[in-house]
Amino acid sequence: MAQSLLTLYNIALVDVLVQKQGSIMQKYKLSVFALGAAFAVLVAPALAEDTQATTASPVSYNFGLVSDYVFRGITQTTHNPALQGGLDYEHNTGLYVGAWASNVRWIKDSGAIATGDANVELDTYFGIKNAVAIDYGYDFGYVRYNYLGTYTPQIGSINADTTEVYGAASYKFVTLKYSYSLLDGFLTNPGAKGTNYLDLSANYPVEDVGMTVGAHIGKQTIVGAAADSAAFSPSSGYTDYKLSASKDFNSYVLSLSYTNTKGATSSFWNPGGDQWGRSSTALSLIHQF
Instruction: With 0.75 as the threshold, say if the pTM is over it.
Output: yes
Evaluate whether 198 touches 178 at the Cβ level (below 8 Å): yes
Letter string b/e over residues 111-124, b meaning 16 or more CB atoms within 10 A of that residue's CB: ebbeeeebbebeee
Query: Average pLDDT for residues 245-268, to the nearest whole number?
Result: 94
Which of 41-45, 65-69, 120-124 is least confident?
41-45
CATH at residue 211 = 2.40.160.40
Pair (161, 42) in one structural domain: no
Residues 47 and 117 in one domain: no
3-state secondary structure the chain: CHHHHHHHHHHHHHHHHHHCCHHHHHHHHHHHHHHHHHHHHHHHHHHHHHHHHHCCCCEEEEEEEECCCEECCEECCCCCCEEEEEEEEECCCCEEEEEEEEECCHHHHCCCEEEEEEEEEEEEEEEEEEEEECCEEEEEEEEEEEEEEEEEECCCCCCCCEEEEEEEEEECCEEEEEEEECCCCECCECCCCCCEEEEEEEEEEECCCCEEEEEEEEEEECCCHHHHCHHHCCCCEEEEEEEEEEEEECCEEEEEEEEEEECCCCHHHCHHHCCCCCCEEEEEEEEEC
Q: What is the mean pLDDT of residues 203-223?
A: 95
71 shares a domain with 39: no
**For residue 62, what pLDDT is reported?**
97
Share of the chain above pLDDT 90, in %: 63
Range of the domain at 160: 59-288
- The answer to whether residues 43 and 75 belong to one domain is no
pLDDT bin (cut points 50, 70, 90) of residue 229 is: confident
Residue 161 has pLDDT above 70, yes or no: yes
Q: Average pLDDT of 68-81?
A: 96
Q: Do 21 and 74 reside in the same domain of the chain?
A: no
pLDDT exceeds cutoff 50 at 36: no
Q: What is the mean pLDDT of residues 57-65?
A: 96
- Compute, in degrees rounded to 10, the torsion defined by CA atoms 184, 164, 180, 260: 110
Same domain, yes or no, for 12 and 114?
no
pLDDT tier at 37 (50, 70, 90 boundaries)? Answer: very low
Same domain, 14 and 70: no
pLDDT digits (tens, 9 = 90+) for 201-212: 999 999 989 999
64 and 45 in a common domain: no
176 contacts 169 by C-beta, under 8 angstroms:
yes
Q: CA 277, CA 269: separation in Å to the nearest integer?
A: 7
Q: Are 212 and 77 members of one domain?
A: yes
User: Mean pLDDT of all residues in the chain?
Assistant: 84
Identify the CA nearest to 69 among candidates 30, 132, 119: 119
Tell whether 49 and 105 lie within a shared domain.
Answer: no
| 71 and 98 share one domain | yes
Do 86 and 217 sit in the same domain of this protein? yes
Last residue of a domain, one of 34, 54, 74: 54
Confidence class for position 54, pLDDT limits 50, 70, 90: low
In this prediction, residue 55 carries a pLDDT of 67
Boundary residue ending a domain (13, 35, 54): 54
Instruction: State how many domains the chain has.
Output: 2
Among residues 54, 76, 98, which one ends one of the domains?
54
Tell how strand 162-171 and strand 174-181 pair up: antiparallel
